[in-house]
């Protein structure tokens, strides 16, 4: 069997480990042949591939990014669609596709599977927001990177007696902000799941300052204060029609400074959280998911995604994967909030 692999959407640490796990098991156990679609769905739509022999995946588990490249191409636009993709697969002799990506990638994979294509999925999102899996690879690395950066912000904030705001990723959910904020001892954690007033935020800042601390705030990019109706976005829409978020920290900093009189600086970590080598946890998880994805292909589990359930790898339908977001529950936020101010 000839299997095509693609990595789509935003990159994250662990993508190469998935590719390696799938290729090594597929070749060693099943004798499959592998090719890679270049730049995500673009390569699928255009039939742009490279061979992936065993030699190509040597030592790549520790590498960040993806050796196949990625993009946010919508496979149903710009000359794409099921018929075009199926024609390329037939011409190239590709029997099935392993699609590695997040919500947008898996939604597209479901539509293509419904149209008759043979596709299995591997969940990829640093936000850790897919409800059908306990963890997604890349999340652990992103939290570690964010925590280290926030630790560095704290020291300069204390030196200058400033309030520091660190903006981390988190479009719809605040898992990165929650974990990195708790790990770094933030005085306030602001996430999309919780509406918080600017008055409450300044109260936390003032309380920390009155105790002689340099206030530290961690905010997810998708956080919406009570006085706003939607997340802050000034960069238009992506190819799937979603707003490109970022900059809420820059909106909060002058407001906090004006209300408290404390010099306040904002830092947006952005793509730093997605770059660099993956953590050991993410390398192991990504490898296991890649190996399990090959099992899905062998067993003909089309329209399913591999997922982590406790410590076991499961196979769930795309419907379950896309059914709802895994939000931060109230009790988890309440645990952290005890430490605020």
Predicted local confidence at residue 78, as pLDDT:
82
Asked whether residue 80 is marked as a ligand-binding residue, the answer is no
Q: Token pair for residue 107? A: 């939604």
CA distance 134 to 237: 29
The neighbouring-strand residues paired with 237 are 243
Asked whether residue 193 is marked as a ligand-binding residue, the answer is no
Q: What are phi and psi of 266, to 5 degrees?
A: -115, 140
Residues 6+ apart with CB under 8 A from 69: 7, 38, 39, 40, 43
Asked whether residue 260 is marked as a ligand-binding residue, the answer is no
Q: Token pair for residue 167? A: 């903006």
Distance of CA 24 to the CA centre of its chain: 25
Query: In angstroms, what CA-CA distances link 148 with 13, 26, 104, 253, 296?
Result: 16, 37, 29, 21, 37
Q: What are phi and psi of 308, to 5 degrees?
A: -100, 120
CA distance 14 to 62: 8
Asked whether residue 271 is marked as a ligand-binding residue, the answer is yes
What digits encode the pLDDT tens for the residues 110-168? 999 999 999 999 999 999 999 899 999 999 999 999 999 999 999 999 999 999 999 99
Asked whether residue 127 is marked as a ligand-binding residue, the answer is yes
Q: Which domains does the chain possess? A: 2-137+278-320 (3.40.50.450), 140-274 (3.40.50.460)
Residues of the chain with pLDDT under 50: none
Predicted local confidence at residue 239, as pLDDT:
59
Structural contact between residues 265 and 165, judged by C-beta atoms closer than 8 angstroms: yes
Distance of CA 29 to the CA centre of its chain: 30
CA distance 41 to 67: 15
Structural contact between residues 191 and 336, judged by C-beta atoms closer than 8 angstroms: no
Which residues are the active-site residues? 127
CA distance 90 to 118: 12
Q: Token pair for residue 213? A: 């601390």
Q: What is the DSSP string of 47-111?
A: T-EEE--GGGGTTGGG--S-TT------TTSSS-SHHHHHHHHHHHT--EEEEEE-HHHHHHHHH
Asked whether residue 274 is marked as a ligand-binding residue, the answer is yes
Asked whether residue 272 is marked as a ligand-binding residue, the answer is yes
CA angle, residues 75, 77, 80, in degrees to nearest 5: 60
pTM over 0.95: no
């Amino acid at each position: 069997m000839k299997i095509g692999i693609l990595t789509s959407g935003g990159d994250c640490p662990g993508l190469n480990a998935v590719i390696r796990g799938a290729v090594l098991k597929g070749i060693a156990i099943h004798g499959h042949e592998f090719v890679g679609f270049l730049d995500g769905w673009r390569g699928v739509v255009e039939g742009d591939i490279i061979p992936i022999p065993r030699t190509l995946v040597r030592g790549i588990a520790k590498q960040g990014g993806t050796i196949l490249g990625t993009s946010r191409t919508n496979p149903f636009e710009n000359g794409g669609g099921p018929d075009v993709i199926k024609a390329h697969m037939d011409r190239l002799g590709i029997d099935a596709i392993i699609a590695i990506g997040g919500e947008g990638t898996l939604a597209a994979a479901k539509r293509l599977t419904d149209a008759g294509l043979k596709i299995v999925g591997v969940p990829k999102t640093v936000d850790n927001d897919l409800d059908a899996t306990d963890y997604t690879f890349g999340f652990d690395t992103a939290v570690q990177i964010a925590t280290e950066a926030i630790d560095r912000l704290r020291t300069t904030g204390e030196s200058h007696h400033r309030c520091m705001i660190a903006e981390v990723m988190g479009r719809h959910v605040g898992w990165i902000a929650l974990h990195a904020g708790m790990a770094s001892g933030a005085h306030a954690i602001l996430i999309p799941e919780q509406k918080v007033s600017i008055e409450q935020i300044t109260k936390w800042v003032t309380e920390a300052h009155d105790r002689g601390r340099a206030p530290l705030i961690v905010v997810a990019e998708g956080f919406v204060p009570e006085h706003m109706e939607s997340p802050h976005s000034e960069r238009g829409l992506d190819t799937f029609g979603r707003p490109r978020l970022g900059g809420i920290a820059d909106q909060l900093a002058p407001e906090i400074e004006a209300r408290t009189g404390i010099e306040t600086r904002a830092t947006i970590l952005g793509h730093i959280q997605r770059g660099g080598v993956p953590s050991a946890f993410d390398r192991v998880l990504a490898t296991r998911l890649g190996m399990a994805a090959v099992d899905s292909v062998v067993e003909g589990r089309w329209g399913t995604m591999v997922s982590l359930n406790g410590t076991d790898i499961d196979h769930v339908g795309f419907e379950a994967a896309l059914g709802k977001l895994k939000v931060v529950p109230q009790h988890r936020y309440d645990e952290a909030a005890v430490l605020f101010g």
